[in-house]
Structure formats: C-alpha cells, structure tokens
C-alpha cells in the first residue's frame, strides 16, 4: 500500500475528529524535540525512532496542506524545516564531534547540494507550468528556468532521488553509520 493511501486515511480521521493541521505541525516539532533530548541522554535508537516518526508526521502534514491547498506562510514552513535540521545537527555534532570525519562532512554536503538542486528543478517546473511562487524562489530558480521544460522533467527523474524527504533519510543513515562505527 502506498504511503499516500495511509495519509489519505489519516486525513479522513483528522476531518472526522475536527483536528486542526497546526496540531500535526506541533506534533512534528514535539517528536523532534524529544528525539534530541534522548540523543543528548545517550539513547541513540530512541533518537532515531523519534526523528523518523517526526519526519513521517511532517510528510503527512505536507500531504494534508497540499491536498487542502492550505499552505501556510513560506517563511514559517521553511523556518520549521531549518529549526528541525539545525537542532538535530547541533545535538548530533555535540555528541559525536570526535567521530565526524572530513569524508562524512563531504558526503553530507554533497547530499544537501543534490537536495537543493532537486528542489530548484522541481520549483522551476512548477513555475514554468504556471504556479505562483514567492519572490525568493523566483530569484533562486531563475537560472534553471532557462532550461527547456522537457529537459527539466528528464533531469527531475534522477534528481527526485534527492528530494528533501529522501535526503533526510540518507542523512539519518549517515548518523547510524557514525554511531555503529563508533
């Protein structure tokens, strides 16, 4: 069963119980915060479980917002993602700073660049197809929009392997590698 099918069932439950989407967003942040607390207490596997759950709840939240065309302010959504990413980064590097090598840093840096390229290509396709975007995105994607639409779609077939959700999971795998090789 596809993840969208589970998300659809969850959406129906939210409607039935009159649960607001902001509560789902709050759940994402709460799970993330407890995950970080467990990491700082030395409970790595609880950290991973809570961070992964937080990411899945975040995917569910985005699914519902896209479905309802209820996108909140761009800055709020982006701030939420950066708060989660930076708090995980600072907590993880605090605990594992002696085990993070230059190769690990390079791998994560490449993953983040590839994720940014995918996001830029995806946004460029949406803009070319007529979707309105914030001025920051319009500025950022300007070089990509010079590429033909079909070429962008062909590139996206590969770059989608580095969308924000998959990149997050790849970084989790890197964290697990650091922990296990410790």
Please give the model's pTM, rounded to 2 decimal places. Answer: 0.84
Spatial contact of 124 and 150, defined as CB atoms under 8 Å apart: no
**So what's the pLDDT on residue 69?**
65
Q: What are phi and psi of 19, to 5 degrees?
A: -90, 125
pLDDT in the model for residue 103: 95
Rounded to an integer, the average pLDDT of 19-42 is 90
Give, in degrees to the nearest 5, the angle at Cα 26 between 176 and 167.
35
Question: How do the domains of the chain map onto residue ranges?
Answer: 1-75, 100-182
pLDDT attached to residue 71: 54
Residue-wise pLDDT for 114-164, tens only, equals 999 999 999 999 999 998 888 888 898 999 999 999 999 999 999 999 998
Structure confidence at residue 75 (pLDDT): 52
């Amino acid at each position: 069963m596809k993840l969208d099918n589970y998300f659809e069932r969850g959406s129906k439950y939210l409607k039935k119980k009159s649960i607001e989407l902001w509560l789902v967003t709050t759940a994402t942040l709460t799970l993330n915060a407890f995950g970080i607390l467990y990491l700082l207490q030395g409970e790595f596997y609880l950290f991973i479980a809570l961070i992964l759950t937080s990411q899945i709840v975040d995917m569910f939240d985005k699914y519902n917002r896209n479905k309802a065309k209820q996108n909140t302010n761009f800055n709020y959504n982006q701030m939420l993602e950066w708060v989660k990413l930076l708090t995980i980064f600072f907590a993880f590097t605090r605990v594992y700073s002696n085990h993070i090598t230059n190769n690990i840093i390079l791998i994560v840096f490449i993953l983040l660049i590839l994720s940014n390229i995918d996001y830029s290509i995806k946004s460029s396709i949406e803009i070319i197809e007529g979707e309105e975007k914030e001025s920051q995105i319009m500025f950022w994607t300007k070089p990509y929009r010079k590429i033909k639409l079909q070429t962008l779609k062909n590139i996206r077939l590969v770059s989608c392997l580095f969308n924000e959700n998959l990149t997050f999971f790849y970084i989790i795998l890197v964290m697990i590698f650091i922990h296990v090789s410790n």
